[in-house]
């Protein structure tokens, strides 16, 4: 049962957007998906409450800020949305569960500095050899200098850059309805699905 953790100690980098869409991708492949939300804001759990009954099912299980339990039997894929400021015992619990860690970051100097420290912490964790780590750029405009700076930063890390996702209202509009890119006709979100291709291959590997 693969456990995919979406983590970055910096707030507002798009962890919940990424978590819900990764869960939506797994569900679109016919998997039994659990989306856990360890964030006090419970954004992913709120999103699940908006999900229409006609959409492919994505389940949740009870997680609290002080307890991270294993998901119920029958689950084939797990996605875990984590809080900002992830550290200490909670960080250790999350990383111990993870098979894959996706680190989202935006093209800003603040995100880059916060992410660098977090990646260093991941690399020295005792479970580092048991998990795969990949990066995803969020709200990236390839025409900007900040996007160039982000590309320079990621190239020097020795980690795979799984996707550079553009800044689009598609994610916002779909989230408001409890949906993902993988719940609507592909023609409506063609550009976005193209940006997800590398990330999806990595998830399936």
pLDDT tens per residue across span 72-95: 678 899 999 887 766 666 777 778
Residue 1's pLDDT is: 85
Domain that holds residue 173: 3-204
pTM flag (> 0.85) = yes
8 A C-beta contact, residue 63 and residue 93: no
pLDDT band of 178, cuts 50, 70, 90:
very high
Report for 21-30, 58-67, 73-82, 130-139: range of highest mean pLDDT: 21-30
CATH of the domain at 19: 3.40.50.300
Residue 14's pLDDT is: 92
Domain tally for the chain?
1
Average pLDDT taken over every residue of the chain: 88
């Amino acid at each position: 049962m693969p456990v995919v953790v979406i983590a970055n100690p910096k707030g507002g980098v798009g962890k919940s957007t990424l978590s819900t869409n990764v869960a939506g991708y797994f569900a679109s492949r016919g998997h039994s998906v659990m989306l856990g939300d360890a964030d006090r804001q419970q954004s992913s759990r709120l999103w699940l409450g908006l999900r229409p009954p006609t959409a492919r099912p994505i389940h949740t299980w009870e997680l609290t800020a002080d307890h991270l339990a294993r998901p119920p039997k029958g689950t084939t894929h797990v996605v875990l949305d984590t809080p900002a400021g992830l550290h200490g015992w909670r960080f250790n619990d999350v990383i111990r569960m993870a098979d894959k860690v996706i680190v989202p970051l935006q093209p800003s100097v603040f995100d880059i500095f916060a992410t660098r420290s977090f990646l260093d912490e991941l690399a020295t964790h005792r479970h580092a050899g048991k998990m795969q780590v990949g990066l995803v750029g969020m709200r990236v405009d390839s025409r900007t200098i900040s996007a160039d700076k982000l590309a320079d930063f990621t190239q020097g890390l020795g980690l795979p850059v799984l996707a550079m996702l553009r800044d689009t209202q598609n994610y916002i509009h779909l989230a408001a309805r409890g949906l993902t890119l993988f719940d609507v006709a592909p023609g409506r979100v063609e550009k976005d699905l193209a940006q997800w291709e590398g990330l999806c291959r990595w998830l399936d590997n």
